[in-house]
Amino acid sequence: MDVKSAFLNGFIEEEVYVRKPPGFESAKFPDRVCKLRKALYGLKQAPRAWYARLNSLLLKSGFVMGSVDKTLFLLSRGGDTLIVQIYVDDIIFGGSSHALVSSFAEQMSREFEMSLMGELKFFLKLQIKQGLEGTFVYQAKYTRDILKKFNMGDSKPMTTLMSTNTTLDADEDGEAVDQKEFQGMIGSLLYLTATRQDIQFAASPRTSHPQAVKRIFRYLKFTPQLGLWYSSGSSLSLRGFSDADHAGCRIDGKSTSGTCQLLGTSLVSWSSRKQASISLSTIEQTAASCCSQLLWMKATLSDFGLRFGRIPLLVDSTSAIFVAKNLVLHSRAKHIDVRFHFLRDHYEKGDIDLVHVVTQNQLADIFTKPLEFGAFARLRGELGVLKYT
């Protein structure tokens, strides 16, 4: 559902005056200006005013706003549920009752001028296929477009995006490259990570060698149809994985953190980032970040009526687990900042459970370092990055 001229529907509370448009000046009152009653495009208050009007309408209609995500609204009637997600002037909605969905579409059409797009198939350059067995989200068209844009359409395909022997550094003695093109390639890859978690680590902005970036494009040439698979038969168990590549950056000795959170077999959230500072306790900081994300997901899922006990957070560092669980070891944790004590606090409260996982089964490993093809393909599949069949 797309609202036409959405920002023109918002009522503003502040006093805002504008000059009269050319051709609409009043000969009787040439020095007067216009006082706005509704928002205009370009006005700073316009997005907030539009959201306020839509929010008011939905709440009056019986919807309940999400406790964490304020753009999520839910309506329950007679055992059926309608879910509405807002993204600026686009509204995605669906429910368990066709009558409830149709009633909402009619109500919105009466209130605003809008176009109904039908079943969700394309959104923000994401392609979506829905079926009885699940939903597949991918960016095959976008992948082909960026390969063509950067003249990589005829390049030789590669099975992995980075060699395990690759060690990128500042390359100060290397030949200068076109910075504008290089930044464009990195930006295009970053948007692709919305569905291609297999390139999340390699597409980091700190990548300094253009040949490494071109290898990522050659990998995309080999795997253009990969995307995220969300199975309808997946369980509703929540778990997280946390990993860190200690001092992996050769330039400044900082570590790379990788985390992912899954609902059953479905990948919901993930991250791969360079830590802000050099630390002696990289895995503890990464685990604390993963814990924070799990708590956010737990609160969001509670709006859907889902309740969770201890959420397993899987790490491959036994020392991190022992320090978190054993208060006697506090003397060994003096170098750890407050974020780690946040992790210990939620373990003691029963929100999470720190569980050891062998390195071979650490799904977050794919976000922190280059892997050989066998391990890379296996972890990629376990994260749900598959080819739609």
SS (H, E, C) 189-222: HHHHCCCCHHHCCCCCCCCCCHHHHHHHHHHHHH
Q: How far is CA 340 from CA 243, 288, 298, 337, in A?
A: 14, 6, 20, 6
- Continuous segment of H or E residues that includes residue 12: none
Residues 317-340 pLDDT 10s: 887 787 777 655 555 555 455 555
Q: Which fold has domain 235-357?
A: Nucleotidyltransferase; domain 5 (3.30.420)
Q: Are 257 and 272 in contact (CB under 8 A)?
A: yes
Q: Are 80 and 97 in contact (CB under 8 A)?
A: yes
208: tokens are 């300094």
| In the block, residue with structure tokens 């029963």 | 350
pLDDT of residue 300: 92
Cα distance between residue 169 and residue 250, in whole Å:
6
Residues 302-322 pLDDT 10s: 998 899 999 999 998 887 787
Q: Is the pLDDT of residue 178 over 80?
A: no
Q: Is the pLDDT of residue 207 over 50?
A: no
Cα distance between residue 309 and residue 315, in whole Å:
19
Q: Is the pLDDT of residue 208 over 60?
A: no
Q: Are 53 and 11 in contact (CB under 8 A)?
A: yes
pLDDT of residue 251: 55
Q: By three-state DSSP, how is residue 115 classified?
A: strand
In whole angstroms, what separates CA 226 from the centre of its chain?
A: 17
What's the CA angle centered on 255, arms 189 and 209, to 5 degrees? Answer: 40
Q: Are 261 and 240 in contact (CB under 8 A)?
A: yes
Closest by Cα among 258, 264, 223, 227 to 244: 258
Q: Is the pLDDT of residue 81 over 60?
A: yes
Domain residue limits, the chain: 2-118, 137-222, 235-357
